[in-house]
């Protein structure tokens, strides 16, 4: 059984991650040994809901515990790189929420440590694990829509109202939301060579838990990505979008079009237009219950079976560099070059598209 430690016990820990942790606890695959949060009040809230042995204010106690195999870093963003570096150095497997780092110095140091370490570093988001993403990836590899020239992606909402750090430097919708779109687009189209971006503060004040706060980071982004294969893509992201009914991802090829429906972190299916047929085909999601935090179960699986992960650290580094350069592009009002690259993603299992008319109960989905 693997011993798990969780650092940062806020919204994402108490919801999506604990749902998956509880499933693995039930199957006796893991033991949630320790949790840590700088806010001591959280212990009182979560010890009524979850089973764990120790709560620490100082996360270093988790890292010093030699029985802990695996650590989830679910804190606010600015803490991610520092805690992940220390955890790898202490010989832990690490899953870190996005972004891994908010500046290039921390990002480079973290990757150097990860590459020297024999342990896994998994960086969120895990959109490439979604069956819909992999089905679209398959269509692109099979050249179903020909040579791809253009793409669009979007993800936004009105913005969090539970933690102030989302609106301070090192927070913001690019690291929080745009990261999903950039991971999806690069996962489908390969590495980016240049970025140009405009960003702004749209709302100077927000309300967090009823208290008015000043916003100190951009909450509104339009981004242009130029890929190594010369494809051009745009990403729209912000805490400035109330609702939408548009595809998450649009891919335009010489022979057709693919549209991912829903959001890329929670796709509900995809549509494909092929000139050959001169019609649209709609595929509902093969696995509606795919959980976006599934990088966690994938990591546990890789540790237990000692297998090569689908989550690629070079891809995650590339996405993180793009995001840091997007801020620079907007501030300096110019195009920025991207230095990193990664190898094309490979999926070994072919995605079977389930027949939607036979899909009566999604709880039977086995992913």
Judged by the rule CB under 6 A, the positions of this chain that interact with ligand NAD are 7-13, 36-39, 42, 59, 74-77, 79, 97-98, 162-163, 176
- Find residue 214's DSSP bridge partners: 205
Closest approach, Cβ 274 to ligand NAD, in A, equals 34
CB-wise, 38 or 201, nearer to ligand NAD? 38
CB-wise, 139 or 176, nearer to ligand NAD? 176
Closest approach, Cβ 204 to ligand NAD, in A, equals 21
Closest approach, Cβ 125 to ligand NAD, in A, equals 7
Closest approach, Cβ 180 to ligand NAD, in A, equals 9
Which residue has 């242009």 as its token pair? 224
In this structure, how many other beta carbons lie within 10 angstroms of the beta carbon of residue 234?
A: 17
Closest approach, Cβ 160 to ligand NAD, in A, equals 6
Closest approach, Cβ 327 to ligand NAD, in A, equals 16
CB-wise, 239 or 252, nearer to ligand NAD? 239
Instruction: Report in angstroms the alpha-carbon separations of 303 from 30, 119, 140, 298.
Output: 11, 9, 30, 9
Alpha carbons 34 and 36: distance in angstroms, whole number: 7
CB-wise, 38 or 232, nearer to ligand NAD? 38
CB-wise, 139 or 219, nearer to ligand NAD? 219
CB-wise, 35 or 300, nearer to ligand NAD? 35
CB-wise, 177 or 223, nearer to ligand NAD? 177
The residue sitting closest to ligand NAD, measured at its beta carbon, is 10
CB-wise, 75 or 240, nearer to ligand NAD? 75
Alpha carbons 124 and 99: distance in angstroms, whole number: 7
Alpha carbons 361 and 149: distance in angstroms, whole number: 38
In this structure, how many other beta carbons lie within 10 angstroms of the beta carbon of residue 211?
A: 8
Closest approach, Cβ 8 to ligand NAD, in A, equals 3
Backbone conformation region of residue 305, classed left if phi is above 0, alpha if psi is from -120 to 50, else beta: alpha
In this structure, how many other beta carbons lie within 10 angstroms of the beta carbon of residue 163?
A: 14
Contact (CB, 8 A) for 234 and 152: yes
CB-wise, 138 or 163, nearer to ligand NAD? 163
Closest approach, Cβ 293 to ligand NAD, in A, equals 8
Closest approach, Cβ 17 to ligand NAD, in A, equals 9
Closest approach, Cβ 353 to ligand NAD, in A, equals 27
CB-wise, 55 or 273, nearer to ligand NAD? 55
Which residue has 């994938």 as its token pair? 298
């Amino acid at each position: 059984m693997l011993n798990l430690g969780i650092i940062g016990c806020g919204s994402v820990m108490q919801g999506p991650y604990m749902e998956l942790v509880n499933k693995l606890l039930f199957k006796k695959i893991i033991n949630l040994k320790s949790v840590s949060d700088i806010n001591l009040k959280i212990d009182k809230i979560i010890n009524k809901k979850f089973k764990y042995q120790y709560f620490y204010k100082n996360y270093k106690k988790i890292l010093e515990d030699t029985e802990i195999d695996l650590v989830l870093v679910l804190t606010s963003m600015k803490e991610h790189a520092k805690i992940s570096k220390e955890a790898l150095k202490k010989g832990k497997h690490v899953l870190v929420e996005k972004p891994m780092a908010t500046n290039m110095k921390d990002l480079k140091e973290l990757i150097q440590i990860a590459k020297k370490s024999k342990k896994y570093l998994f960086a969120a988001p895990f959109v490439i694990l979604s069956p819909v993403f992999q089905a679209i990836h398959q269509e692109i590899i099979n050249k179903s829509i020909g040579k791809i020239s253009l793409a669009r992606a979007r993800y936004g909402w009105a913005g969090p109202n539970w933690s102030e750090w989302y609106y301070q430097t090192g927070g913001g919708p690019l690291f929080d939301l745009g990261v999903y779109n950039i991971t999806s687009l690069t996962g489908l189209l390969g590495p980016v060579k240049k970025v140009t971006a405009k960003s702004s503060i749209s709302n100077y004040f927000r309300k967090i838990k009823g208290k008015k706060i000043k916003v100190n980071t951009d909450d509104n982004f339009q981004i242009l990505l130029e890929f190594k294969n010369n494809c051009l893509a745009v990403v729209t992201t912000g805490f400035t979008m109330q609702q939408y009914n548009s595809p998450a991802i649009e891919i335009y090829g010489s022979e057709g079009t693919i549209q991912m429906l829903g959001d890329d972190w929670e796709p509900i299916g995809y549509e494909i237009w092929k000139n050959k047929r001169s019609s649209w085909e709609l595929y509902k999601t093969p696995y509606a219950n795919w959980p976006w935090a599934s990088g966690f179960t994938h990591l546990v699986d890789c540790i237990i079976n000692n297998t090569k992960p689908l989550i690629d650290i070079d891809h995650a580094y590339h996405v993180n560099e793009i995001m840091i350069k997007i801020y620079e592009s907007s501030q300096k009002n110019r195009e920025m070059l991207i230095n990193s690259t990664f190898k094309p993603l490979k999926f070994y299992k072919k995605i079977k598209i389930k027949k939607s008319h036979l899909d009566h109960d999604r709880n039977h989905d086995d992913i």
